[in-house]
Structure 1
Amino acid sequence: MLISLSAKNKTGFVDGSITKPITAGSTLRAWERCNSMMISWMLGVLDQNIARSVLYFKTVREIWLNLEERYGTASGTMLFSLQQSLFEIRQGSENISGYYTKMKMLWHQLDSLDPLPICGCTNCTCEINKKLVKSQEDRRLVEFLMKLNEGFEIIRGNILLMSPLPSISQAYRLLLQEESHKRLYQNVNISQANSEDTMAFGSRRNFEDRFKSQNTQNRHNFGDTRRTNSFFCDHCKMTGHTMQRCYKLHGYPPNGRNDKRQAAVVQISDEEPHKDPLDNVSFTAA
Structure 2
Amino acid sequence: MNGKDDSLQSISTRLDGKNYTYSSYIMKNFLRGKNMWGYVTGTKAKPSVPQTENYYMLLDAWETDNSEVITWINNSVTQSIGMQLAKYDTSKEGIQDFYAAMSDLWDQLALTESKELKDFEPYIARREEQRLVQFLMALRSDLKALRGTILHRSPLPSVDSVVHELIA
Which bracket does the TM-score occupy, shorter chain normalised?
A: 0.3 to 0.5
Q: TM-score, length-normalised on structure 2?
A: 0.41
Q: TM-score, length-normalised on structure 1?
A: 0.25
Larger RCO, structures 1/2 (Cα 8 Å, 6+ apart)? 2
